[in-house]
Amino acid sequence: MEARFLWRAFRARYRDEKAELSAIRDYVRPGDTVCDIGANKGAFVWWMSRWVGDRGRVAAFEPQEELADYLRRVCRKLSLSNITVEAKAVDAVSGTRTLYVPGSSGNSPGASLNARLSERENCRATTVPVVALDDYFDPGCRVTVLKIDVEGAEPRVFEGARRILKERSPLLVFECENRHLESGDVFDVFRILLDLGYEGDFVCGRRLRPLAEFDPSVHQREIGERFWDRKDYCNNFIFRKRS
């Protein structure tokens, strides 16, 4: 179990999410509090744990109970005591919501609070606890990074973290795709952040390009089978507060 977890972490750091993790590494400092929202199997949390150090904290949110249990077990095995695994989704308000999980059984990296998912795929629906980040973290907490992979629920995560975004200006590393959003498009999501004083880049070929160069008709072209697996398909974004 531990070997597989570490292999996944190193593959993310040096291949699959190299640009995203490099941005986090450059931004985070020992003692910081960072979040992995939609932690899945934990490819990011190993590195986050190392970079924030013993005085820091990693909050990993994974609403699929089996995956949350897996993360708790591997964290115990590897003595990652600065990681708190929460079997919760992150939303605009705290309470409960329906989580849609593609497939008839097992866990899925595509699970989402977004009801639109159930219209396109065969999904299991389950009720899960949800929390707004502004409720979860005390006002004085120094939250410096939000990594977000929530399959179309990004606007609700940002809505529930408005205080943190305004007061703490965390680095935002998030997935966003037109095909997953319940309404509007990716530019509606970007506008939420631009209005809060952020500026952004998108990941293209493992390097960063200015958000002004992003064109969904090119970079999120929905043509052909499994179009999202094409090398020129871009769905990862990194936003920082403007200087």
pLDDT single digits (tens) 3-32: 999 999 999 999 999 999 999 999 999 999
DSSP H or E stretch at residue 6: helix 2-11
DSSP H or E stretch at residue 45: helix 45-52
Which pLDDT band holds residue 122 (cuts at 50, 70, 90)? confident
Q: What is the SS3 assignment for 167-195?
A: HHCCEEEEECCHHHCCCCCHHHHHHHHHC
Could you report the per-residue pLDDT of 44-86, keeping only the tens digit for each?
999 999 999 999 999 999 999 999 999 999 999 999 999 999 9
Superfamily of domain 2-241: Vaccinia Virus protein VP39 (3.40.50.150)
Q: Which residues, listed in sequence order, are joined to residue 95 by a DSSP beta bridge?
A: 130
Q: How far is 95 from 3, CA to CA, in rounded Å?
A: 36
| Measured CA distances, 117 to 13, 33, 106, 151, 216 (Å) | 29, 31, 17, 9, 20
Percent of the residues in the chain that have a pLDDT greater than 90, as a whole number: 88
Q: Which amino acid is at 142?
A: R
In the predicted structure, residue 117 carries a pLDDT above the cut 80: no
At 31 the three-state DSSP class reads coil
Q: How far is 164 from 171, CA to CA, in rounded Å?
A: 11
Closest CA to 27 of 172, 158, 209, 127: 172
Q: How far is 198 from 226, CA to CA, in rounded Å?
A: 32
Tokens for 147, please give them. Answer: 């990594």
Give mean pLDDT, residues 184-203. Answer: 97
